[in-house]
Amino acid sequence: MGDLNLSVVGRRPVRRVRMPRGLVAATLMLMAGLAGGPTPMASATLSDVPSDAKVISDWNAIAISTLAGDPTKAPQEGFLYVGFVQAAVYNAVVRIDGRYAPYRFHAHAPRRASTQAAAAAAAHRVLTTYSPYATASLDAAYATSLAAVPDGSAKTDGIAFGELAADRLIQQRVGDGRNAPITFTQAPAPGLWRPTPPAFASMAVPWMGFVTPLLLRSGAQFGLPGPPPTLTSRRYTRDFAEVKALGSVDSTARTAEQTATALFFSGNALVQYDAALRDQVTVRHLDIVDAAHLFAAVTMTQADTIISVWRAKYTYGFWRPITAIRLADTDGNPATDADPAWTPLLTTPPYPDYVSGYSGVTGAFSRSLAGALGTRNLQVSLTSTAVPGAQRSYVSGRVLDQDVIDARVWLGIHFRTADTDGVRMGTRAAAWILDHYFQRTPGDHED
């Protein structure tokens, strides 16, 4: 995803998460992801009652693969639908367990229902509803998941409750603005976006910014950070000079290390960050409840951040570097020089510059991950979806944030302000969401 590809915990004290009560090693599995190669599935642990956290990771990977192959959806929509899946899974699991407050779901859970069966049922129901093209493969995966749960009333009740959680989520999303007949209509002018070469495609999913968020009050809550810099401002002049020098396909100013960082973050952010979440379930030995909590907190926050990002893109409609540099003689700024042949390192995606989607979901990822885990020591391993075999590890969300900000400039597809404000938007959204959702229930205590 061209424009989509972390920050530390803020002022609010973080909450510690409970580690699982019993640990038994499970088998590592692989599932194909969007990057065109195998994506490691998180292994997890088994408790006395069948509630294997691996089911959470498995169905996240299935969701990613399913949405990648859905011919009815643009790539940017993946964040929304993964958020839907993880919301339903979270509700099914936490209403049975009681450890965390549910998300707009208050049905009474059957006593001792299987959380493992409930999680699989919820994910399966959401995916077959929104991606019916994949029903056969989803049914096969569902049968495999349920085969791991012993037959009996716990399994039957878990299935029914998971389907109920999914159905409730699906009902809540009816009429939420997805696929509304909205188009980007601003006429081309200095500073305003227009289709970019080589495809000259119209703005992708312009309705995204007007979808009802899962958690935020609206896409405008953090989606209107203020306009980008004016074309004659010092900041714009500085941003222009930087991306022109360092972001071109044939730049002699960009170092080899800068190019490597740029390319590392030039693929699909959804695939990259969800694979990292599956790895977190494994390395932190999360149980099924904390795994469901982690996936919901991060992916639902990213979904709302994408909505906010698209509201800003649609509202401000700021032009991309390729347009700005080739048409610099029209911007009224004597300090910018036009280069009609300038070309970015990465092909420019079909939507406005401000703000950056990859940067936005990165800020959301780092802040929500830190808050959900209750630690500033992230220990996150990332795999590039664009550079085969490339991996990086981050202890600090702040360092990850900065790498992504720099990368999008060095790719030549963003002005720096779009990246810094994108990260800030995602971070602010995550901080607000963690203050209002995903709380531990009263009376629940850590072991």
List the pLDDT tens digit at each of the 447 positions of the chain: 545 532 222 223 333 333 333 322 332 232 333 233 333 333 333 333 336 999 999 999 999 999 999 999 999 999 999 999 999 999 999 999 999 999 999 999 998 999 999 999 999 999 999 999 999 999 999 999 999 999 999 999 999 999 999 999 999 999 999 999 999 999 999 999 999 999 999 999 999 999 999 999 999 999 999 999 999 999 999 999 999 999 999 999 999 999 999 999 999 999 999 999 999 999 999 999 999 999 999 999 999 999 999 999 999 999 999 999 999 999 999 999 999 999 999 999 999 999 999 999 999 999 999 999 999 889 999 999 999 999 999 999 999 999 999 999 999 999 999 999 999 999 999 999 999 999 999 866 554
DSSP 214: S
- DSSP for 306-322 reads HHHHHHHHHHH-BPPHH
* Amino acid type, 244: K
Contacts of 384 (CB under 8 A, 6+ apart): 35, 263, 264, 265, 266, 267, 272, 390, 391, 392
Provide the strand spans (E) within 191-279: none
| DSSP letters for 251-267 | -SSS-HHHHHHHHHTSS
Query: SS3 for 121-170, per residue?
Result: HHHHHHHHHHCHHHHHHHHHHHHHHHHCCCCCHHHHHHHHHHHHHHHHHH
Is domain 30-436 annotated with CATH 1.10.606.20? yes
Q: State which H helix or E strand residue 39 sits in.
A: strand 38-40
Quote the CA–CA distance of 141 and 234 in Å, as a whole number.
55
The dihedral through the CA atoms of 372, 373, 378, 383 has a sign that is negative
E strand or H helix at 30 = strand 30-32
Which sign does the torsion angle of CA 282, 286, 292, 294 carry? negative
Tokens of 283: 């390395």
pTM of the model: 0.89
Q: Which of 176, 81, 175 is nearest to 130 (CA)?
A: 81
Angle of helix 256-264 versus helix 397-410 axis, rounded to 10: 100
SS3 440: strand
Residue spans per domain, the chain: 30-436
Task: Identify whether the C-beta of residue 8 lies closer than 8 Å to the C-beta of residue 396.
Answer: yes
Any residues with CB less than 8 A from the CB of 237 and at least 6 apart, and which? 333, 335, 336
How many whole angstroms separate alpha carbon 438 and alpha carbon 101? 6
Contacts of 260 by beta carbon, 8 Å cutoff, 6+ apart: 387, 390
Q: Residue 442 has what pLDDT? A: 86
